Amino acid sequence: MAQQQEIRVPDIGDFENVEIVEVLVKAGDTVSVEAGLITLETDKASMDVPSPVAGRIAELKVSKGDRVSRGSLIALVEVDEKAAGAARATPARSARREAPAQTPPQEKSSPAPRPAAATAAAPPARVAGTLPPIDETTFARAHASPSVRKFARELGVDLIRVKGSGAKGRVLQDDVKAYVKAILTGQAAGPAGAGLPKMPVVDFAKYGEIEVKPLSRVRKISGPRLLASWLNIPHVTQHDEADITALEKQRQALKKEAEATGVKLTPLAFVMRACILALQEFPDFNASLSEDGASLVHKKYRHIGFAADTPQGLVVPVIRDADKKGLMEIARELGELSSRAREGKLSGEEMRGGTFTVSSLGGIGGTFFTPIINAPEVAILGVGRAAHQPVWQGKGFEPRLILPLSLSYDHRVIDGATGVRFTSFLV
């Protein structure tokens, strides 16, 4: 009769009560030595626990979602006697391979080989030049199973750079392949990322209680776009102040009339009108750089986006052909688009095609800030909260309502002189 052997969780470092996110086998399955049995996941890494023996799973003692520690019973395996001798000789290696957040010793010492397939598909110099080198500290923290780690190492891929499509963002073998393909075909930015200094990685839980919350879908989309804009565009921010005392008087006079038609007339509608006039005066602000950076694409339409703060995160609805709309119509669209934005009901189309963006924090507070350009646009106007200030009027100080404005622009397209001409015009 075949001998039954208990398979237990090996030494997994300091971790206890680690969640099983995947059970890779079922009772009756035949397994070979090193075949993955379960996948464990900590907040730092995920790891497969391989079978130290070859045989048939007689009984599985765990299920997905269970929590285990070192020594927890995983399964009873009817050992394949022929393979048993060989397996018994290597249990320590199996256990060590699975130590979390640690590079397997044999992998650490050997330099990462370059991918055979990659070198065949492209000149070696290009591969070496585009695949960023593996960073051992962050590689160890990548969210991937040991087999995927091994695969990535064989290809020379720094796993931490690969976007995972598995459960909880786990990197799968196909993700690694897609990453290499994207780099080789020039669709992914290898060198730009490679040149950036690494951010420090801190184990926050070491210093107190923490709670990890996944980012919202909107934030996951907007974050990389903001980063791309920040990294690709040389931003300059020009600050200025507009005296809106007269404007505010006019707004108060029109407010009732607007309310009667269900429109809330805020200072933002006036600011947008002013921006449209400024864009007509300075068309470069309504343009985009061509993809090769060699020309400027002037748009004959003026679609103005505005940043809206929603429970899901930042979105930018666009008022189409804003230059063909009057103050009240702009105010009405502002209200409608922002309430639909807060309800998460905007279509993708309603957030595309903008030529210039206004980001107003005036309803909340603050003065000046440095808004990030909504690429491929070339400028964005930040609006702070208007406040009364004493302003010298020739014979004495008078209280005037002052609106802080911050214009960020792409310095590849707009010079400082043009930037300040634009804000002066707005003011």
Which is closer to ligand CAO, CB of 144 or CB of 403?
A: 403
Which is closer to ligand CAO, CB of 210 or CB of 387?
A: 387
Q: Min. distance of Cβ 324 from ligand CAO in angstroms? A: 20
| Segment near ligand CAO (CB under 6 A); pick from 41-49, 127-135, 155-163, 307-315 | 307-315
CA angle, 19 as apex, 38 and 40 as ends, to 5°? 35
- x/- mask, ligand CAO, residues 287-306, rule CB under 6 A, reads -------------------x
Sole binder of ligand CAO in the list 107, 154, 309, 336 (CB under 6 A): 309
Q: Min. distance of Cβ 411 from ligand CAO in angstroms? A: 20
User: How far is the C-alpha of 352 from the C-alpha of 342, rounded, in Å?
Assistant: 17
Which is closer to ligand CAO, CB of 57 or CB of 361?
A: 361
- x/- mask, ligand CAO, residues 245-274, rule CB under 6 A, reads ---------------------xxx------
**Contact yes or no for 317/357 (Cβ under 8 A):** no
Give the residue from 225, 232, 163 showing the smallest Cα distance to 351. 225
Q: Does 361 bind ligand CAO (CB under 6 A)?
A: yes
Kind plus residue range of the DSSP H or E element containing 403: strand 397-410
Could you list the active site residues?
411
102-161 binders of ligand CAO (CB under 6 A): none
Please list the alpha-helical segments (H only) found in 54-172.
81-88, 91-97, 105-109, 116-121, 124-130, 136-139, 146-155
Sole binder of ligand CAO in the list 83, 314, 327, 351 (CB under 6 A): 314
**Angle (deg, nearest 10), helices 245-260 and 327-342:** 70
Residues in Cβ contact with 80 at an 8 Å cutoff, skipping those fewer than 6 apart: 2, 53, 54, 55, 56
153-172 binders of ligand CAO (CB under 6 A): none
Structure-block tokens of residue 187: 């669709």
**Contact yes or no for 257/399 (Cβ under 8 A):** no
Which is closer to ligand CAO, CB of 33 or CB of 268?
A: 268
| Segment near ligand CAO (CB under 6 A); pick from 34-42, 80-88, 285-293, 354-362 | 354-362
Q: What is the CA radius of gyration of the chain?
A: 30
User: How far is the C-alpha of 416 from the C-alpha of 427, rounded, in Å?
Assistant: 16
The beta strands (E) that lie in 254-307 are given as 287-289, 296-298, 304-306
Sole binder of ligand CAO in the list 39, 362, 367, 378 (CB under 6 A): 362
Tell me the residue nearest to ligand CAO as measured from the CB: 362
Kindly list the residues in this chain that would bind ligand CAO in the complex (CB under 6 A).
266-268, 306-309, 314, 334, 338, 359-363, 383, 385-386, 403
